[in-house]
A = this chain, B = another copy of it.
Amino acid sequence: MHRFFEQLRILEERLVEMGGTVRLSIQKSIRCLVERNEDFAHQVIQTENLVNQLEIQIDDLAVTLIVLNQPVATDVRLIIAALKINTDLERTGDLAVNIAQRALALIQEPPLEPDVPIPRIAGRVQEMVENSISAFIQRDPDEARRVLLADDEVDRLRTSLYEDLARRMEGDGHAVRRALGTMTIVRNLERIADHATNIAEDVIFVVRGIDVQRRKESR
C-alpha cells in the first residue's frame, strides 16, 4: 500500500510538470502575438514533442499502478481521473500550438486594435489550468469550483470580444481576415478553458467518491 502511494505521487508530479509546461506554452503563444515576436511561437511548437512524451509516460505509470497494486475501486477511480487529466493536458498543448501558428500568421499583418482583452483572457485561462491541477493534487473540490466560476468569466470576456470583432467586420471588409484570425485565437483559449473545466469537474466527482467511501469505512 505504501508503494502504491509512492507511485501515485510520481504520477502526480508528472501531471504537475505537464501542467506547468502547457501553461508556459499558452503564455508564450500569446506573447508571440502581443510582442510580435516569432521566437515565442517556435518555442511552443518545439514543446509539442515533450508534451506527447509526458502523456505516454503518465499513461504507462497509470497502467503500472493498476497492474502491480490491484487497487480498490476508489483508487482505480483516482487513477482514471489522472488519465483523463492527462488527455486534457495533452490536448491543451495542441491548442497552444494552434494559437502559436495562428499568431505567426497574424503578426505578418498590421495589428487590429483592440486586442487588449486577449492577454487578460489568456491570463485567466492559464490560472484555470494551474488551479485545476492543483485542485486534483490537493483533492480540493472548493478550488475546483473556483475553476468553474473562472470559466464563466472567460465566456463573458470572449462573448464581449466577439461582439466587438463582429462589428468591426460589418463596418470594414478589410478587417475581416484579421478579425477572423483573432477570433480563432480566442476560440482556442476558450477550448483550453473548457479542458480546465473538464479537469475541475473530474476532481469534484472523484473527491465526492472518496468522501462517500471514507464515510462507509468509518461506520
Q: Interface residues, chain A, CB within 8 Å of chain B?
A: 59, 62-64, 66-67, 70-73, 76-77, 80, 83-84, 87, 166, 169-171, 173-174, 176-177, 180, 187
Contact = CB atoms under 8 A, between A and B. Distances in A.
Contacts of A80: 59, 62-63, 83
Number of copies: 2
- 5 A-B pairs with least C-beta separation: A170-B173, A170-B176, A169-B176, A67-B73, A63-B76
10 contacts: A63-B73, A63-B77, A63-B80, A67-B71, A67-B76, A80-B83, A83-B84, A166-B176, A166-B177, A170-B177
Contacts of A71: 67
Given A169-B173, A170-B174, 14 more contacts: A59-B80, A63-B73, A63-B77, A63-B80, A66-B66, A67-B72, A80-B83, A84-B87, A87-B87, A170-B173, A170-B176, A171-B173, A176-B176, A187-B187
A78 B142 CA distance: 33
Nearest to A62: B80
Nearest to A65: B76
Contacts of A170: 173-174, 176-177
A72 B66 CA distance: 9
A179 to B, nearest CB: 9
